Amino acid sequence: MCGIVGYIGKNNIKEQLLDGLKELEYRGYDSAGFSIMKDGELYSYKSVGKIKNLVEKSKKFEIDGFGLGIAHTRWATHGKPTEINAHPHFAEFSSVVHNGIIENYQSIKQQLEKKGINFLSQTDTEVIVKLFEDKLENDAFEAFKNTIKELKGAYATLLLTKKEPETIFFAKVGSPLLIAKNDEEIFFASSDAPVVGKAKKVIYLEDGDYGYIKNNQIHLFRNDKELQLNWSDLPKNREFAQKEGFRFFMEKEIYEQSHVIIDTMMGRAYENGIKFEELDKNFLDGITNITICACGTSYHAGMVGSYLLQRNAKIKTTLEIGSEFRYKTPLLTKDTLFLVISQSGETADTLEALKMAKKAGLKTLAICNVDNSSIVRLADKTILTRAGIEKGVASTKAFATQVMVLWMLSDFFGGINEYKTFMKISKACEVTEKLHEKIKRLSKRYLNGHGFFYIGRDVFYPLALEGALKLKEISYLHAEGYPAGEMKHGPIALADPELYTIALLSKNLLFDKTKSNIEELSSRDSTILTISCEEIETTDDFIKINESNHYMIEFYEMMIITQLIAMEISVRLGNDIDMPRNLAKSVTVE
Ligand code: F6R
């Protein structure tokens, strides 16, 4: 995920910016850069890859004394990870860094292009600085205010301009931004990590906040009114700051899902339907069926996608596990769209399967979280999931965003509009304190059995598979996901009080059928935890989700619960949550 750092002071400005960027490395990035304003001149450096490349590139650039600086680590969402697309972005005499997504950047870009303004990069960010200069007459703050008024989407942004060389302009909507200070310096950052140990006091900006810092005076506005500055103390522990106060990266990533899901939808889900700038209108020409291929959690997302694509887009969809597909001498025909899903974009089995499909001349599409990864480079088209870097080995937010892309894709192909439901998904992914506390308490009852069955039907079957996989990965307990209706064909023989069943019971999809499958297990005395909006009296434990009118809202609420169950059981067992034994984050070997 992108990171922002800003600095105003006289203590080695270049090092301050580079140090800040290094503290943001843990968030993942593919390029970095900075701009420094000193005595009315703007100095900028950018590079692709690690911060050390930026250090190397700016090695000869020496600067002393007071200055203002903005810096950025970029995780590509619009445009490839190239030096041109790296931040800062420039207009004639100004420079900008930005986190988030400008949803309406294309229409702004078109307007400006009509006026003869040229764009260098493929990013959404460049429109901010070009629009700013277009609006600038005499008053730079006025121009900045009018610029941010036109932006739709999410942004945290810092802007420098030679027209007002003593000033940094800032604004925040949707993406995090803070101002921190000590006695003689002022910092900006997109999270605590770069400023812990450097600054003492902090203001976490709220959505709609904007303003400027000039001559060390901070002017903060909301709704055209200047606000009082309410400083609070900064946390002191850097690792704690990186995890943003959470115990584990996995926990942070579970909580983050309600935000990243919005990033996934931004610029794609509109009131009048779905748009994918990555795909042209005739993308499906000549295609009669889709094959989805992936591994692990991404495979489970793919299975959810196969239900959604068939139901919403009415396209025959088959599913393949990467490692199996490679060796089964598949029959590949050119009327098939070959869709691969991968968080890392480097999974060897998925990559090899993609190569086979390409070789057979199939049209290919990747759903991936890492731009410029091997899979992205190979596929004809890619839709990025925009989950930001995932540090926990057990995948959570990558899964949530993969499913979201597949769901949008199914509506896009099917010409269906579910905008109102999409708008409820972020809320469905929120973790409340009450829910988390309940799961912490319940987890103690699920530590000593001989195994777990996760059961569900339709899209809740892949969710059952994924819930079981999460538990296996970090608790090392045996868990299986099963289609609820399949239990009677064998697995039910295992049912006894030491067999734990996690039942995913949707009110909107096959409620009665699933309920009777749960009752079959209950009458064999299995210990059952039901997750539903309607309690069934015959089961042992119950976690209530909200009543809703769409099974995908239930899906996301249940997803959060299964992730928390896996994590809290594993915490009680004393396991390493972020780095479970025997597992690697990216499986680049066969
Ligand atoms: C599980 C998990 C793995 C990956 C699988 C594929 O939590 O993360 O099952 O999903 O190794 O990886 P990607 O998605 O990177 O292709």
CA of 181 to the centre of ligand 1 (A): 41
Q: Which residues contact 395 (CB under 8 A, 6 or more apart)?
A: 296, 297, 298, 343
Residue, of 30 and 589, whose pLDDT is higher: 30
Predicted pLDDT of residue 78: 78
What distance lies between CA 265 and its chain's CA centroid?
Answer: 10
Residues 99, 457: Cα–Cα separation, whole Å: 39
Got the DSSP string for 517-583? HHHHHHHTT-EEEEEESS--TTSSEEEEPPP-S-HHHHHHHHHHHHHHHHHHHHHHTT--SSS-TT-
> Are the C-beta atoms of 536 and 519 separated by less than 8 Å?
yes
Predicted pLDDT of residue 548: 96
Residues 220, 205: Cα–Cα separation, whole Å: 9
Cβ burial, residue 94 (10 Å; 0-12/13-18/19+): buried
Q: Which residues contact 404 (CB under 8 A, 6 or more apart)?
A: 261, 264, 265, 385, 425
Mean pLDDT of the chain: 93
CA of 336 to the centre of ligand 1 (A): 24
> Are the C-beta atoms of 60 and 16 separated by less than 8 Å?
no
Predicted pLDDT of residue 25: 82
Q: How confident is the model at residue 391 (pLDDT cuts 50, 70, 90)?
A: confident
> Are the C-beta atoms of 320 and 330 separated by less than 8 Å?
yes
Predicted pLDDT of residue 470: 98
Residue 2 is a catalytic residue: yes
Predicted pLDDT of residue 135: 97
Residue type at 50 in one-letter notation: K
Q: Which of 2, 293, 295, 368 is catalytic?
A: 2
Residue, of 78 and 148, whose pLDDT is higher: 148
Residues 357, 359: Cα–Cα separation, whole Å: 5
> Are the C-beta atoms of 473 and 465 separated by less than 8 Å?
no
Kindly state the DSSP code that residue 441 receives in the 8-state scheme.
H
Got the DSSP string for 74-96? E--SSS-S-TTTSSPEE-SSEEE
What distance lies between CA 180 and its chain's CA centroid?
Answer: 26
> Are the C-beta atoms of 30 and 49 separated by less than 8 Å?
yes
Closest among 518, 531, 534, 528 to 557, alpha carbons compared: 531
- The β-bridge relationship of strands 186-189 and 201-204 is unpaired
Mean local confidence (pLDDT), 133-158 = 95
Handedness of CA 447, 479, 556, 344 (dihedral sign): positive
Residues 188, 116: Cα–Cα separation, whole Å: 34
Residue, of 373 and 361, whose pLDDT is higher: 361
Q: Which of 254, 292, 395, 579 to mutate for ligand 1's pocket (most ligand atoms within 8 Å of CB)? A: 395
Q: Which of 57, 152, 355, 585 is catalytic?
A: 585
Is the per-residue pLDDT at 239 higher than 90? no
E-strand ranges in 457-526 read 479-483, 499-504
CA of 342 to the centre of ligand 1 (A): 7
Looking from the CA of residue 586, the nearest atom of ligand 1 is: 15
Give how far Cα 576 sits from Cα of 50, 279, 350, 536, 579, Å: 28, 41, 28, 35, 6
Is the per-residue pLDDT at 329 higher than 90? no
Give the bridge partners for 269, in sequence order.
274
For a pLDDT cut of 90, what percent of the chain falls above it? 82
Q: Which of 248, 254, 298 to mutate for ligand 1's pocket (most ligand atoms within 8 Å of CB)? A: 298
CA of 371 to the centre of ligand 1 (A): 16
Q: Which residues contact 241 (CB under 8 A, 6 or more apart)?
A: 191, 192, 193, 196, 235
Q: How confident is the model at residue 519 (pLDDT cuts 50, 70, 90)?
A: very high
Residues 26, 390: Cα–Cα separation, whole Å: 10
Q: How confident is the model at residue 143 (pLDDT cuts 50, 70, 90)?
A: very high
Looking from the CA of residue 390, the nearest atom of ligand 1 is: 8
How many residues would you count in the chain?
A: 590
Residues 475, 498: Cα–Cα separation, whole Å: 17
For ligand 1, atom 9, which residue shows the shortest CA distance? Answer: 296
Per-residue pLDDT of 212-234, as tens digits, reads 999 889 999 999 999 999 999 88
For ligand 1, atom 10, which residue shows the shortest CA distance? Answer: 297
Closest among 251, 271, 261, 167 to 216, alpha carbons compared: 167
Predicted pLDDT of residue 77: 79
Question: Phi/psi of residue 382, each to 5°?
Answer: -135, 140
Closest among 55, 105, 59 to 79, alpha carbons compared: 105
Per-residue pLDDT of 420-461, as tens digits, reads 999 999 999 999 999 999 999 999 999 988 899 999 999 999
Q: How confident is the model at residue 1 (pLDDT cuts 50, 70, 90)?
A: low
Q: Which residues contact 532 (CB under 8 A, 6 or more apart)?
A: 503, 504, 505, 506, 507, 542, 544, 545
Predicted pLDDT of residue 530: 97
Predicted pLDDT of residue 538: 85
Mean local confidence (pLDDT), 242-269 = 92
End-to-end CA distance of the chain: 28
Residues 108, 154: Cα–Cα separation, whole Å: 15
Per-residue pLDDT of 285-312, as tens digits, reads 999 999 999 999 999 999 999 999 999 9
Per-residue pLDDT of 51-83, as tens digits, reads 999 999 999 998 888 999 999 999 887 778 899
Q: Which residue has the tokens 């086979």?
A: 356
Q: Which residue has the tokens 């609820």?
A: 484
Q: Which residues line ligand 1 (CB under 6 A)?
A: 295-298, 342-344, 347, 350, 394-395, 469, 473, 586-587
Predicted pLDDT of residue 80: 82
Mean local confidence (pLDDT), 99-116 = 93
Looking from the CA of residue 394, the nearest atom of ligand 1 is: 7
Cβ burial, residue 387 (10 Å; 0-12/13-18/19+): buried
Q: Which residues contact 333 (CB under 8 A, 6 or more apart)?
A: none
